Structure 1
Amino acid sequence: MTRPPLRVGNASGFYGDRFDALREMLTGGGLDILTGDYLAELTMLILGRDRLKDPARGYARTFLRQLEECLGLARERGVRIVANAGGLNPAGLADAVRELAGRLGVPARVAHVEGDDLGARFPGALTAHAYLGGAGIAACLNAGADVVVTGRVTDAALVTGPAAAHFGWRDDAYDRLAGAVVAGHVLECGTQATGGNYAFFAEHDPAALRRPGFPLAEIHEDGSAVITKHPGTGGFVDVGTVTAQLLYETSGARYAGPDVTARLDTAVLTADGPDRVRITGVRGEAPPPTLKVGLNRLGGHRNEVVFVLTGLDIEAKAALVRAQIGDALDRAGSRPADVRWELARTDRADAATEETASALLRLVVRDADADAVGRALSGAAIELALGSYPGFHVTAPPGKGAPYGVFEAAYVDRATVEHVAVLPGGERTPVTTAADTRVL
């Protein structure tokens, strides 16, 4: 028996995206699943620093505030919510959602997915998380979860998991899973699929782009999908916007992930009416035997000063301040390990205003020692105020510097990663797919 299409919406493309999007998607039209993508490499670093301050943190707290407004609404409309807002602490977020549901009097069944945290294998990293697939999400939904929160899964897993659960796909249904991966990849960045950040935006009505609506996908049992948005919302969906997002952050025809390797060169995009684009023909291959692991570590400390150079002799002014800062740091005995200068010639000849007559000289320093990029640098810059180039000033007072992070990728044998679905009743269910056990 053919199952009806699954309508999957997106309400977040990053941690800090439009707060009202969850409500907009729930009230704008019919949905079965509403997803939220809150994680990126930088987000994992931010959450890692949050966890250093408080081990009970490490998840996207904005998601909880959105649920406080919308959990009852989702329940009323029969929409299940799947989000990777759990970040470094999906169990903690699941507990917080249960507490919220109890306080609101909403009978929500909450589950979560874990197993992505590989910190024990990478002791030098602030965060170390494998990119899991959608099978754990599917297990949670099949167990009746109304809300599923995860840690680090692939962005597309937020769609492949619900699709596999809805249609009962086997884990080797590679063509169908690949179609869901493509749909998930189009949805994952929110309004980038509906005209946001679109190179050819000028060819469209500017009014439509003031507040683009968030996208949704109608996924069919054969893995095909239609990308669209709720009626009456801003933005636009056409073959161009979908193509642009489909190619976003991809590097070849084979788009490898933990669920399937999607062949992007087989996807066929066709217009299917106003604000509707149909994706068909996507072929899939077995996923790779390894899982990608995102590693964040603290690289040291960073500081920045931007000098404003106005009027004549811009190059000479830049040379003077560079020499002066270098001398001051040498005298202080605290020259940072990495010193970079960049002159941006934003100035114009015969400019009408001081701002348009000015160039920007940016100094960025990095060092493992916070003191080397802190007071020594800020003092050297400020002490030049009356003894440097004419018109000396900076865009902002130099501060004490801040830690910065470094992202790296590693790969591990997927069979060594324990992918676990923690069901609404608390049962811990290991998730194993054919790809986890095959011999190559």
Structure 2
Amino acid sequence: MASPKRPIRIAGCSGAATDRRDAMRALAANCPNDPIDVIIGDWMSEANMTSRAASKTDNVGEAYEPTFLEALEPALPHIAKHGIKIAVNAGASDTELLHSVVTKMVASKGLKLKVAWISGDEVLPAVREAQKANASTFENIRTGEVLNSWKFEPIYAQAYLGGLGIASAFLRGADIVVCGRVSDASPVIGAAYWWHNWQRSNLDELANAFVAGHLIECSNYVCGGNFTGFKALETKGWENIGYPIAEISSSGGVVITKNKNSGGEVSVQTCSSQLLYEIQGPWYFNSDVTAILDELWFEQLSTDRVALRGVKSDLPPPTTKIGITAKGGYQAEMHWFLCGLDIDAKARMMETQIRLLLRPHAHRFTKLAFTKNGSAPDDPTNQNAATVDFRVFAQAPKEEDLMPQRFLRPCIDPIMQGYPGATPHLDWRQALPKPVYEYYVTLLPQADVQHKVHLASGETFAIPPPPQTKTYPAQQPCQAVTRGPADGGKWGRTVTGPLGWIVHARSGDKGSNCNVGFWVRHREEWDWLRTLLSVEKVQELLADEYAGKKIDRFELPNLHAVHFLLHDHLDRGVSCSSTYDFLGKNVAEFLRARHVQLPVRFLDRGRL
């Protein structure tokens, strides 16, 4: 094993199944000029967790994530040449089969790389045993319902595993470790744990590695992808934004940088953006450790080098998150185009006509929604800009409920009696029924998870649950308004304008929940921001989007940030959402576009 005196350098090469596939090869090939010890990648999401679960259950197609192989194959010679370790969560619902495919791929190239795999994330039998013994109600941590009252039949369940299985595999000589549903940050935890020979009691070190994993698991995000300061990146190579590298010392010190000669930037602002992505509150849970975020901050050391500071640690919880998949029925949608004047009246007319024709069939639907998407400007200068999408969306339990004669035909048949300019979208593929999957998020005791490492030799090692844990309240710390609000008069003259002229923001999904974090660049702006953004103010800004659900709020003063968790805001989650913004990423952009009173003195510093 390498010396613990040198920080480990871990590169993140993928944040999604659809990420660019050349990053792993490029990072490995450039190792002599830009050394890398471990490459990690995240190929999993709630979307492909459910779809791959259905593939496994129905024995149709691959149940692992095949795009991982597209990234791995061209990288293998460089991985072998430079002794780089690989840890990825691309196994989805068939990690054992992915292990077999990777092993054969390595052998076909005449390489001596050892491939290990992690099991234990498949937990539906444990859930059923606990239900049978009345050991748990399996309360949904998003909605509060209990599993026995869920109207869907579970077909698959996956637990989010920690990183110590990966560490154990590396310790025993594995070069490539393929996992199913480990948490997104677990490959970084596992790599640092192995490299520095940490113990479970090294909570501070583990917490820092955990947050480092959160920062780099989404690949380009921490280097300027999905960043509200993106306009400043145009001169910094935004056509080819780089991939992140976390340098983690034996004491848990973390520096975030990126691969050499790549576009984008690593700054306090890009790190703040990624830190605020998808967190649920100041307590950040993993199977190996709990990271406490409320005093966290970043320090810009030099160009594209940012240090992580202020992370606190605590014991991991006795439970781990699990996601339960069920077949949720079918959905279909059809689109009309509304152009120019009287958009609202045109939409009302078409909706009324379609509803009448759907009346004989609509009782079969579990959801029927009509939405206008976009708006037409006054005095438009081109026709496309003056066009609004009108969407008809339906879900039903059975495929036959949404066959063309029961959905598509009633949606298009009003064309001759329609609004002026009535034009349907001619691509009707979305109007045919497609399966959707429900996703139920709950908790399972870590003691009920059979976390195991399977080595290339055939040996198997069990990873026991943490010996010490801590039970946390279900409710994260919440502060509806700031303490000691600043005097509004101190800001001087104000003008009305979009919040996003001054304020950065970032949002994302966790099941049906949506989180959104706001932050500013300067201390004086922070006093204004924390005073402005109360729970009540966010409800006001959400306007028509606010459905009366609970909102949690907490502050990160060292980041100049205010974070909100919008409970049950995203319909039922990405795999069965009826909304366009199924990942919740545009909630932040919508709120930044809302108008508030902005201090002119802040605008004088320049708009974002």
Name the TM tier (shorter chain): over 0.9
Of 14, 17, 20, 1:15 maps to: 17
Contact 2:116 2:178 (8 Å CA) reproduced: yes
- Give the C-alpha shift of residue 270 in structure 1: 0.9
- Give the C-alpha shift of residue 437 in structure 1: 8.3
The match for 2:423 is 393
Determine the C-alpha separation between the residues in 1 that align with 2:470 and 2:421: 69
Determine the C-alpha separation between the residues in 2 that align with 1:70 and 1:405: 34
The match for 2:239 is 210
Count residues in correspondence: 440
Determine the C-alpha separation between the residues in 1 that align with 2:83 and 2:320: 34
Of 215, 218, 226, 1:197 maps to: 226
The match for 1:224 is 253
Determine the C-alpha separation between the residues in 2 that align with 1:286 and 1:49: 35
The match for 2:208 is 179
User: Residue 18 of structure 2 aligns to which amino acid in structure 1?
Assistant: G
Between the aligned residues of both structures, percent identity stands at: 32
The match for 1:43 is 48
Contact 2:325 2:437 (8 Å CA) reproduced: yes
The match for 2:71 is 66
The match for 2:499 is none
- Give the C-alpha shift of residue 238 in structure 1: 0.7
- Give the C-alpha shift of residue 75 in structure 1: 0.6
Of 445, 456, 474, 1:413 maps to: 445
Moved more, 334-343 or 278-287: 334-343
The match for 1:33 is 38
Deviations 1:159-201 (Å, cap 9, x if unpaired)?
0001111111111210010010011010010000001111112
- Give the C-alpha shift of residue 320 in structure 1: 1.8
- Give the C-alpha shift of residue 371 in structure 1: 2.2
The match for 1:130 is 159
Contact 2:288 2:466 (8 Å CA) reproduced: no
| Cα distance change on mapping 1:385 and 1:283 into 2, 3 Å | same
User: Residue 434 of structure 2 aligns to which amino acid in structure 1?
Assistant: A
TM-score between both structures, scaled by the size of structure 1? 0.95
The match for 2:278 is 249
User: Residue 407 of structure 2 aligns to which amino acid in structure 1?
Assistant: L
The match for 2:381 is 352
| Cα distance change on mapping 1:332 and 1:250 into 2, 3 Å | closer
Determine the C-alpha separation between the residues in 1 that align with 2:217 and 2:312: 20
Secondary structure at 2:47's aligned position in 1?
helix
Moved more, 129-138 or 400-409: 400-409
Of 265, 275, 279, 1:236 maps to: 265
| Cα distance change on mapping 1:15 and 1:439 into 2, 3 Å | closer
Determine the C-alpha separation between the residues in 2 that align with 1:18 and 1:234: 14
Q: Are 2:292 and 1:263 aligned? A: yes
Deviations 1:358-388 (Å, cap 9, x if unpaired)?
2222111111122222311111122222222
Contact 2:317 2:470 (8 Å CA) reproduced: no
- Give the C-alpha shift of residue 295 in structure 1: 1.7
Contact 2:222 2:270 (8 Å CA) reproduced: yes
The match for 1:379 is 409
- Give the C-alpha shift of residue 239 in structure 1: 0.9
Contact 2:57 2:156 (8 Å CA) reproduced: no
Determine the C-alpha separation between the residues in 2 that align with 1:181 and 1:335: 46
Q: Are 2:461 and 1:429 aligned? A: yes
- Give the C-alpha shift of residue 203 in structure 1: 3.2
Q: Are 2:87 and 1:82 aligned? A: yes
Determine the C-alpha separation between the residues in 1 that align with 2:364 and 2:322: 35
- Give the C-alpha shift of residue 342 in structure 1: 1.2
The match for 1:301 is 330
Unaligned residue ranges in structure 2 (runs of 5+): 129-152, 473-608
Determine the C-alpha separation between the residues in 1 that align with 2:244 and 2:332: 39
Contact 2:349 2:418 (8 Å CA) reproduced: yes
Contact 1:415 1:437 (8 Å CA) reproduced: no
Determine the C-alpha separation between the residues in 2 that align with 1:216 and 1:352: 46
Give matches, 1:94-173, under 5 Å.
94-122=99-127, 124-173=153-202
TM-score between both structures, scaled by the size of structure 2? 0.69
Secondary structure at 1:390's aligned position in 2?
coil
Determine the C-alpha separation between the residues in 1 that align with 2:306 and 2:342: 55
Secondary structure at 1:105's aligned position in 2?
coil
Secondary structure at 1:384's aligned position in 2?
helix
Contact 2:200 2:466 (8 Å CA) reproduced: yes
Secondary structure at 1:57's aligned position in 2?
coil
- Give the C-alpha shift of residue 420 in structure 1: 0.5
| Cα distance change on mapping 1:109 and 1:305 into 2, 3 Å | same
Secondary structure at 1:133's aligned position in 2?
coil
Determine the C-alpha separation between the residues in 2 that align with 1:411 and 1:85: 22
Determine the C-alpha separation between the residues in 2 that align with 1:356 and 1:17: 30
- Give the C-alpha shift of residue 17 in structure 1: 0.5
User: Residue 396 of structure 2 aligns to which amino acid in structure 1?
Assistant: D
Give matches, 1:314-353, under 5 Å.
314-331=343-360, 336-353=365-382
Determine the C-alpha separation between the residues in 2 that align with 1:260 and 1:434: 9
Moved more, 405-414 or 264-273: 264-273
Determine the C-alpha separation between the residues in 2 that align with 1:333 and 1:93: 43
| Cα distance change on mapping 1:232 and 1:170 into 2, 3 Å | same
Determine the C-alpha separation between the residues in 1 that align with 2:471 and 2:274: 35
User: Residue 12 of structure 2 aligns to which amino acid in structure 1?
Assistant: N
Unaligned residue ranges in structure 1 (runs of 5+): none
- Give the C-alpha shift of residue 131 in structure 1: 0.5
Determine the C-alpha separation between the residues in 1 that align with 2:362 and 2:221: 48
- Give the C-alpha shift of residue 433 in structure 1: 4.1
Contact 2:315 2:470 (8 Å CA) reproduced: no
Determine the C-alpha separation between the residues in 2 that align with 1:333 and 1:185: 44
Contact 2:55 2:61 (8 Å CA) reproduced: no
Determine the C-alpha separation between the residues in 2 that align with 1:26 and 1:439: 41
Determine the C-alpha separation between the residues in 1 that align with 2:112 and 2:450: 30
| Cα distance change on mapping 1:339 and 1:434 into 2, 3 Å | closer
